[in-house]
């Protein structure tokens, strides 16, 4: 297990996020506070509809909070414009979703190359880095295959490789094994965990799977709009 540095890499400070639904306001986050340390792997466990995706989208700079601040490294993101937020997502953040969202017309290798080339790397360098990542994820021999030619577990491993291709500071994952059978889910999570631990990046991973959550450094949940610690060793109240 990679050691944590004791340095915060992601902080949410008094974050509020609400949506208007018909004639009422739906509050998802209310003065929410959270700190993710460098090298830390945290599970986000909460029932459907509790706001897990909203939390990930807000922390991942896909949505702006109504108030409060998201701090990435030492950068306050509250006042960043759309272009600045896009640059931070591209360079410093990685995302993995329940569905792989691979580009169907591209091979596995090309899918992992794309974010690197968008950042300005040459195709030669991007290709070598992509192949190394696919090899690490034990899917290297399938690098020339398109997503339709890969199994669900293989597709998700390619998606994970793509998410970390630019060596992000933080990886966000929203039910990354939710579409997979239990055996494949365990295998894919093992690959994800190994990659996170070896690279030393930080990860916030939403999951319904308590067995997978217990393998992370700690667990949190959402309660009344706040982010609170969750001890999965104790029965739920």
Q: What are phi and psi of 173, to 5 degrees?
A: -135, 130
What's the per-residue H, E or C state across 80-125?
CCHHHHHHHHHHHEEEECCCCCCCCCCCHHHHHHHHHHHCCCCHHH
Burial of 224 (0-12, 13-18, 19+ CB in 10 A): exposed
Question: pLDDT class for 47, splitting at 50, 70, 90?
Answer: confident
φ/ψ bin of 25: left (φ > 0), alpha (ψ from -120 to 50), beta (otherwise): beta
C-beta atoms surrounding 34 within 10 Å: 20
Domains and CATH numbers, the chain: 8-101+115-120+154-229 (3.40.50.300)
Instruction: Output the average pLDDT for the chain.
Output: 88
Question: pLDDT class for 122, splitting at 50, 70, 90?
Answer: very high
237: pLDDT strictly greater than 90:
no
Residues 6 or more apart from 67 whose CB is under 8 A from it? 14, 15, 16
- Separation CA 72–CA 8 (nearest Å): 9
- Paired tokens of 212: 């997978």
| 182 SS3 class | helix
Q: What is the pLDDT of residues 49-85, one digit of tens each?
A: 788 889 999 999 999 999 999 999 999 998 899 999 9
Q: What are phi and psi of 107, to 5 degrees?
A: -75, 170
Residue with tokens 């880095």: 129
- Separation CA 209–CA 175 (nearest Å): 9
- Separation CA 90–CA 164 (nearest Å): 11
**pLDDT reported for residue 2:** 46
Residues 6 or more apart from 232 whose CB is under 8 A from it? 45, 210, 213, 214, 219
Residue with tokens 């909070």: 65
Q: What is the pLDDT of residues 173-197, one digit of tens each?
A: 988 877 777 877 887 888 888 888 8
**pLDDT reported for residue 196:** 83
- Bridge partners of 229? 220
- Separation CA 76–CA 118 (nearest Å): 24
- Separation CA 171–CA 164 (nearest Å): 7
- Separation CA 14–CA 177 (nearest Å): 30
- Mean pLDDT score, 32-56: 90
């Amino acid at each position: 297990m990679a050691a944590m540095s004791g340095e915060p890499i992601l902080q949410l400070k008094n974050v509020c996020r609400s949506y208007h639904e018909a004639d009422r306001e739906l509050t998802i986050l209310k003065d929410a506070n959270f700190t993710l340390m460098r090298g830390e792997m945290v599970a986000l466990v909460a029932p459907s509809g509790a706001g897990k995706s909203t939390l990930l989208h807000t922390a991942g700079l896909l949505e702006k909070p109504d108030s409060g601040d998201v701090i990435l490294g030492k950068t306050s993101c509250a006042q960043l414009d759309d272009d600045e937020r896009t640059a931070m997502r591209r360079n410093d953040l990685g995302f993995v979703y329940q569905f792989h969202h691979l580009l169907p017309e591209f091979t596995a290798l090309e899918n992992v190359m794309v974010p690197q080339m968008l950042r300005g790397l040459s195709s030669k360098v991007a290709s070598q880095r992509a192949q190394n990542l696919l090899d690490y994820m034990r899917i290297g021999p399938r690098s020339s295959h398109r997503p339709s030619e890969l199994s669900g577990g293989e597709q998700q491993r390619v998606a994970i490789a793509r998410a970390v291709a630019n060596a992000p500071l933080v990886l966000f994952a929203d039910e990354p094994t939710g579409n997979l059978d239990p055996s494949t889910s365990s295998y894919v999570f093992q690959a994800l965990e190994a990659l996170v631990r070896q690279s030393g990046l930080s990860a916030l991973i939403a999951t319904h799977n308590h067995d997978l959550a217990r393998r992370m450094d700690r667990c949190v949940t959402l309660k009344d709009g706040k982010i609170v610690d969750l001890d999965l060793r104790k029965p739920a109240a």
